[in-house]
């Protein structure tokens, strides 16, 4: 069962269109698997739609009392035409299912990522990373695959690190994470994730990992690799 959800403030920014593409994708992927957040998103979307509707059309209804009814009736027709003719309405294309394979296993890529370009895969030990080419400067997005028994040495983050579990599970000091979990961490968190049975994650980070134990210098390549 999904236990980790985006915070309400983050969902609000998502609905308002204020998030970078990578974080938006993370929320959309999670919401595809989470009925609770899906409902929050549609409620907020409705509110935002109503609000912008009022902003655009309210001034048209402010008229003197005598002509109020006529003007309102005419404007209502205009309004419907505006909406029907609006080029803002996206025409949804049928989703094409795309798969990606890691370590001889095939995974279906979440619909929201299927139109994004994937970079080459690179490996370190039991980790494989495919960069998602979004060109968001310091924000890097990737698919990260961990083979059974693989993990990431204990670390913290200088910036933020978002992980959305697409398949499989992993655990750290705070517990077990399963498919669909949305895990947003920052410098106040320190953890050592390990995947017993393997997993595939969508990750977004805006800085390299910072290792907290032992041979930091030796681990730095892994930090840049994950970021």
Nearest to 100 by CA among 133, 135, 136, 128: 128
137's torsion region: left (phi>0), alpha (psi -120 to 50) or beta? left
Minimum distance of Zn ion from residue 30's CB (angstroms): 6
Q: Nearer to Zn ion by C-beta: 204 or 226?
A: 204
Please check whether residue 19 is in contact with residue 13, taking contact to mean a CB–CB distance below 8 angstroms.
yes
User: In Å, what is the CA distance from 30 to each residue of 26, 75, 176, 200?
Assistant: 6, 40, 17, 14
Q: Nearer to Zn ion by C-beta: 34 or 184?
A: 34
Q: Nearer to Zn ion by C-beta: 41 or 208?
A: 41
Q: Does 5 bind Zn ion (CB under 5 A)?
A: yes
Q: Does 28 bind Zn ion (CB under 5 A)?
A: no
Minimum distance of Zn ion from residue 41's CB (angstroms): 9
Minimum distance of Zn ion from residue 31's CB (angstroms): 7
Q: Does 37 bind Zn ion (CB under 5 A)?
A: yes
Count of CB atoms situated within 10 Å of the CB of 6: 24
Minimum distance of Zn ion from residue 182's CB (angstroms): 6
Q: Nearer to Zn ion by C-beta: 1 or 58?
A: 1
Q: Does 183 bind Zn ion (CB under 5 A)?
A: no
Q: Does 191 bind Zn ion (CB under 5 A)?
A: no
- Token pair belonging to 152: 């990431």
Burial of 132 (0-12, 13-18, 19+ CB in 10 A): buried
Minimum distance of Zn ion from residue 2's CB (angstroms): 6
Whole-number Å distance between alpha carbons of 83 and 138: 38
Which residues are near Zn ion by CB under 5 A? 5, 34, 36-37
């Amino acid at each position: 069962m999904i236990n980790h959800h985006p915070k309400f403030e983050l969902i609000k920014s998502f609905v308002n269109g204020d998030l970078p593409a990578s974080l938006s994708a993370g929320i959309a992927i999670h919401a595809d698997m989470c009925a609770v957040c899906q409902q929050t998103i549609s409620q907020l979307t409705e509110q935002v739609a109503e609000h912008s509707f009022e902003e655009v059309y309210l001034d048209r209804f402010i008229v003197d009392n005598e002509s109020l009814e006529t003007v309102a009736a005419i404007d209502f027709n205009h309004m419907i035409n505006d909406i029907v003719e609006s080029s803002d309405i996206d025409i949804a294309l049928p989703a094409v299912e795309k798969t990606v394979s890691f370590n001889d296993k095939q995974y279906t890529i979440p619909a929201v990522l299927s139109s994004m370009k994937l970079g080459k895969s690179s490996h370190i030990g039991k980790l494989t990373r495919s960069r998602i080419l979004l060109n968001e400067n310091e924000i890097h997005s990737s698919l990260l695959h961990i083979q059974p028994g693989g993990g990431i040495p204990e670390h913290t983050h200088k910036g933020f690190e978002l992980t959305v579990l697409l398949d499989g599970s992993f655990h750290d000091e705070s517990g077990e994470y399963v498919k669909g979990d949305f895990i947003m961490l920052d410098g106040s968190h320190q953890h050592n994730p390990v995947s017993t049975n393997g997993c595939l994650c969508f990750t977004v980070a805006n800085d390299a990992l910072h290792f907290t134990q032992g041979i930091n210098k030796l681990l730095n390549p892994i930090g840049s690799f994950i970021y």
